[in-house]
A and B are shown apart, each in its own frame.
Chain A
Amino acid sequence: MSADKRQTMIEFRDIQKYYGDYHALRGINGTIRAGEFFSLLGPSGCGKTTLLRTIAGFEGIDSGAVLIDGKDMSSVPANMRPTNMVFQSYAIFPHMSVAENVAFGLRRDPRSKAEKAAAVEEALGMVGLKGYGGRAAHALSGGQRQRVALARALILKPKVLLLDEPLSALDKKMREHMQVELIKLQRQVGITFILVTHDQEEALVMSDRIAVMFEGQIAQLADPETLYRRPNSRKVADFIGTMNFIPCEILSENAGGYEVDIKGLGRVTLSADQVASDENSGTPAVGLRPEALTLLFPGQTSDERKVPGKIDEVIYFGDMTSYDVFIGGTDIEVRLSMRNVPGRPVMDVGTGVELSWSPSALVLFR
């Protein structure tokens, strides 16, 4: 079942799309591989849903092309495309039972009634709704509707499953539960999943690769770790997780790497892979994730580089505590988070502390 992950399933070729004067998609390029869990991530209005709908065939494009499994889809209407969609509102047909909903796409299928019924039961079993076939669609809960929508799409064994913010209507607990279920389901069926979401955490948890979109363009297309550790622009870094930006001065360049003087932290040499490719980030700064900074508690030592600081704000989360700390001798504040292990105190506001940090965790934005 599992497809060759190096094979290309979807290819975007310079897609341009306008809504009247509004330039919704501005030259989208990229590929989505067969069998991967792919996410389109971005703030609302960035074009991610529009891009998903151009794959499904609900939106035309003004120029460029969408290729699915090597075939240009320009003249293929939505009902003939090898894709199926789970809608944000789930779009469960309210006048049909659960089984009728799931069997809807099989109407033109030549199989016998009994075989179709078995397929419906199998699909319902796959999403954990065995035995729900006879229920009326409008009597289902939000989570159940979503499962029906999944079963209805998957029963057709599409090459690509499109998911338009499928978890946004669920409460936090249900959402986390469904994230895990979706990952398992995707591994089980091996179909390419494309998820649209504005929730960076959700995208990081679920995806093999993510395209981060801003203003109708893909800002970065990479796997979650690269996106998190090596964002290619200040904007991406800011959108994904929390990032401390500390101004710096570029002293010299050497084979793609740089020597910089960071305000409050001192001189550091950064290798070429620590430099964000986007050269238009404004004034130079280095980015440092909160977990790349460690607060040294009384009696603790570290081999990493150290800098004094003063605690300005403490936010207690239970399993961890978040501190805002002024770096010694500057007005620069960094945020860091520490796990609350037994015996470790929660520090007070105003306490003078020592932070340790590692130059290898830095990213340079030019």
Chain B
Amino acid sequence: MQTKSSEARTGWLLIAPPAVVTFLLLAAPLVTVLVYSVLTGSRGAVSLPVTGENYYNIFRTAGGNILEKLGDGSVWDMLKMRNWAGIADIFSSAPFLLVIGRAIFVAVMVTLVTVLLAYPIAYFVSFHVQSSKKSLWLFLITIPFWTSYIIRVALWRTILGYDGIVDSSLMGLGIMDTQLNVLQYGVTSIIITLSHAYAPFAVLPIFVSLEKVDRSLLEAGQDLGESKWRTFLRVTLPLSMPGVIAAVLIVFIPTAGDYVTPELIGAGKVPMVSNFVETQLLKSRNFAMGSALAATAMIVVALISVAFLLLNRRFIGGRK
């Protein structure tokens, strides 16, 4: 005998253990970070009063605070004079903004590369592989993802580094006569490495959404005289957008917060925001500033994700 309330009670009882564990391990820490980020920090401790100073400090540069420069109009003047170099100088002398900006730039590039590379492969597996062999293809694509992340990242160092596999092969084959040493272009090699690491993440959601596309719609499109390419653009692509969106978010969010690659590939010379959070929290032991930086990174990533979602909703909605 199941009445409604007893069903809800059983449901709650069962969900309680995972929900409580997640609450204690996730919600409580996130709230603590937010609280710390508005407290006054000293080395190894935080204290009252509540302050916005930590967030203000994110805009710090070598010569003053950007917010002040916005206030006194000097940045606006540079904008009016089209003094791009001057603006770039200011931002590159703002250590926190620089690492946040670099993380976002890397994440955007990696997302672009992985999703663009992944779409054709997802399309191929969904539309041109016999259904009995689809699982095998997916299995082949996912295996690399399940092998140690550290090892995969470190491998790229040996591949791209000075006298590494790329250089020694190119020179051995006589194509190049000097070391290319891609590794020294820190951000480039970080993007290459992360694009490889997150490739399978992008394929799966796109594949799943392509699988849901009703094949008779495509036949209908071609039956009505559309070319294959136009059918793809007008039917398949819009219908697979949910998968593309999922792929973008799945790749963008963790890459923006990546820590390992800048350490191993960039040798700590091109830190991203996560590396700075570590520096603030563990090396400077400034918990308040570290929390503010972590919170800012979270907020920026969340805002970009939400903006992207909204943009797509409008795009898809507009097409209907």
**CA gap between A60 and B8 in the complex, in Å:** 14
Considering residues B1, B2, B3, B4, which has the most beta carbons from chain A within 10 angstroms of its beta carbon? B1
**CA gap between A75 and B226 in the complex, in Å:** 64
Interface size grouping (class) on chain A: 10 to 19
Q: Mark B1-43, 1 if CB is under 8 A from A, else 0.
A: 1111000000000000000000000000000000000000000
Closest approach, in angstroms, between the C-beta of B3 and any C-beta of chain A?
A: 4
**CA gap between A58 and B7 in the complex, in Å:** 12
Q: Kindly identify, within residues 69 to 85 of chain A, every residue whose CB is under 8 Å from any CB belonging to chain B.
A: 74-78
A59 beta carbon closer than 8 Å to chain B: yes
**CA gap between A57 and B4 in the complex, in Å:** 14
**CA gap between A78 and B2 in the complex, in Å:** 10
Task: Identify the closest chain A residue to B3 (Cβ).
Answer: A60
Closest approach, in angstroms, between the C-beta of B6 and any C-beta of chain A?
A: 8
Q: Please indicate the chain A residues that have their CB under 8 angstroms from the CB of B4 in the complex.
A: 20, 60
Task: Identify the closest chain B residue to A54 (Cβ).
Answer: B1
Please report the total number of B residues contacting A with Cβ < 8 Å: 4
Considering residues A20, A60, A78, which has the most beta carbons from chain B within 10 angstroms of its beta carbon? A60
Task: Identify the closest chain B residue to A74 (Cβ).
Answer: B1
Q: Please indicate the chain A residues that have their CB under 8 angstroms from the CB of B2 in the complex.
A: 58-60
Number of residue pairs spanning A and B whose beta carbons lie under 8 angstroms apart: 13
Task: Identify the closest chain B residue to A59 (Cβ).
Answer: B2
Q: Please indicate the chain A residues that have their CB under 8 angstroms from the CB of B3 in the complex.
A: 60
Q: Mark B124-137, 1 if CB is under 8 A from A, else 0.
A: 00000000000000
Task: Identify the closest chain A residue to B7 (Cβ).
Answer: A60
**CA gap between A77 and B3 in the complex, in Å:** 12
Q: Please indicate the chain B residues that have their CB under 8 angstroms from the CB of A77 in the complex.
A: 1
**CA gap between A75 and B4 in the complex, in Å:** 16
* Chain B binding surface SS class: loop
Closest approach, in angstroms, between the C-beta of A66 and any C-beta of chain B?
A: 11
Q: Mark A73-104, 1 if CB is under 8 A from B, else 0.
A: 01111100000000000000000000000000
Closest approach, in angstroms, between the C-beta of A18 and any C-beta of chain B?
A: 8
Task: Identify the closest chain A residue to B5 (Cβ).
Answer: A60
**CA gap between A57 and B1 in the complex, in Å:** 5
Q: Mark A43-65, 1 if CB is under 8 A from B, else 0.
A: 00000000000000111100000
**CA gap between A320 and B4 in the complex, in Å:** 52
Closest approach, in angstroms, between the C-beta of B7 and any C-beta of chain A?
A: 9
Task: Identify the closest chain B residue to A60 (Cβ).
Answer: B3
Task: Identify the closest chain A residue to B2 (Cβ).
Answer: A60
Q: Kindly identify, within residues 19 to 61 of chain A, every residue whose CB is under 8 Å from any CB belonging to chain B.
A: 20, 57-60
**CA gap between A62 and B4 in the complex, in Å:** 10
**CA gap between A179 and B79 in the complex, in Å:** 85
Q: Please indicate the chain B residues that have their CB under 8 angstroms from the CB of A59 in the complex.
A: 2
Q: Please indicate the chain A residues that have their CB under 8 angstroms from the CB of B1 in the complex.
A: 57, 60, 74-78
Closest approach, in angstroms, between the C-beta of A77 and any C-beta of chain B?
A: 6
Closest approach, in angstroms, between the C-beta of B125 and any C-beta of chain A?
A: 28
Task: Identify the closest chain B residue to A20 (Cβ).
Answer: B4
Task: Identify the closest chain B residue to A19 (Cβ).
Answer: B4
**CA gap between A60 and B1 in the complex, in Å:** 5
Task: Identify the closest chain B residue to A18 (Cβ).
Answer: B4
Closest approach, in angstroms, between the C-beta of A358 and any C-beta of chain B?
A: 52
Task: Identify the closest chain B residue to A76 (Cβ).
Answer: B1
**CA gap between A232 and B1 in the complex, in Å:** 35
Closest approach, in angstroms, between the C-beta of A258 and any C-beta of chain B?
A: 48
Task: Identify the closest chain B residue to A73 (Cβ).
Answer: B1
Closest approach, in angstroms, between the C-beta of B193 and any C-beta of chain A?
A: 45
**CA gap between A97 and B4 in the complex, in Å:** 35
**CA gap between A78 and B3 in the complex, in Å:** 13
Closest approach, in angstroms, between the C-beta of A63 and any C-beta of chain B?
A: 12
Q: Mark A10-23, 1 if CB is under 8 A from B, else 0.
A: 00000000001000
Task: Identify the closest chain B residue to A58 (Cβ).
Answer: B2
Closest approach, in angstroms, between the C-beta of A327 and any C-beta of chain B?
A: 46
Q: Please indicate the chain B residues that have their CB under 8 angstroms from the CB of A75 in the complex.
A: 1
Q: Mark A329-361, 1 if CB is under 8 A from B, else 0.
A: 000000000000000000000000000000000
Closest approach, in angstroms, between the C-beta of B297 and any C-beta of chain A?
A: 43
Q: Please indicate the chain B residues that have their CB under 8 angstroms from the CB of A60 in the complex.
A: 1-4
Closest approach, in angstroms, between the C-beta of A314 and any C-beta of chain B?
A: 36
Task: Identify the closest chain A residue to B6 (Cβ).
Answer: A60
Q: Mark B196-212, 1 if CB is under 8 A from A, else 0.
A: 00000000000000000
**CA gap between A78 and B1 in the complex, in Å:** 7
Q: Please indicate the chain B residues that have their CB under 8 angstroms from the CB of A76 in the complex.
A: 1
Q: Kindly identify, within residues 83 to 99 of chain B, every residue whose CB is under 8 Å from any CB belonging to chain A.
A: none
Closest approach, in angstroms, between the C-beta of B47 and any C-beta of chain A?
A: 52
**CA gap between A60 and B6 in the complex, in Å:** 10
**CA gap between A74 and B4 in the complex, in Å:** 15
**CA gap between A274 and B108 in the complex, in Å:** 80
**CA gap between A264 and B1 in the complex, in Å:** 56
Q: Mark B96-139, 1 if CB is under 8 A from A, else 0.
A: 00000000000000000000000000000000000000000000
Q: Kindly identify, within residues 274 to 319 of chain B, every residue whose CB is under 8 Å from any CB belonging to chain A.
A: none
Closest approach, in angstroms, between the C-beta of A284 and any C-beta of chain B?
A: 44
Closest approach, in angstroms, between the C-beta of A185 and any C-beta of chain B?
A: 29
Closest approach, in angstroms, between the C-beta of B98 and any C-beta of chain A?
A: 55
**CA gap between A59 and B7 in the complex, in Å:** 11
**CA gap between A74 and B3 in the complex, in Å:** 11
Closest approach, in angstroms, between the C-beta of A357 and any C-beta of chain B?
A: 49
Task: Identify the closest chain B residue to A75 (Cβ).
Answer: B1
**CA gap between A76 and B1 in the complex, in Å:** 8
**CA gap between A159 and B3 in the complex, in Å:** 25
B residues in contact (CB < 8 Å) with A: 1-4
A residues in contact (CB < 8 Å) with B: 20, 57-60, 74-78
Could you list 13 A-B pairs, sorted by A, with CB under 8 Å?
A20-B4, A57-B1, A58-B2, A59-B2, A60-B1, A60-B2, A60-B3, A60-B4, A74-B1, A75-B1, A76-B1, A77-B1, A78-B1
11 extra A-B contacts, CB within 8 A, seeds A57-B1, A77-B1: A20-B4, A58-B2, A59-B2, A60-B1, A60-B2, A60-B3, A60-B4, A74-B1, A75-B1, A76-B1, A78-B1
When A and B form their complex, which 7 residue pairs have the shortest distance between CB atoms, in order from nearest?
A: A60-B3, A60-B1, A77-B1, A60-B2, A57-B1, A59-B2, A58-B2
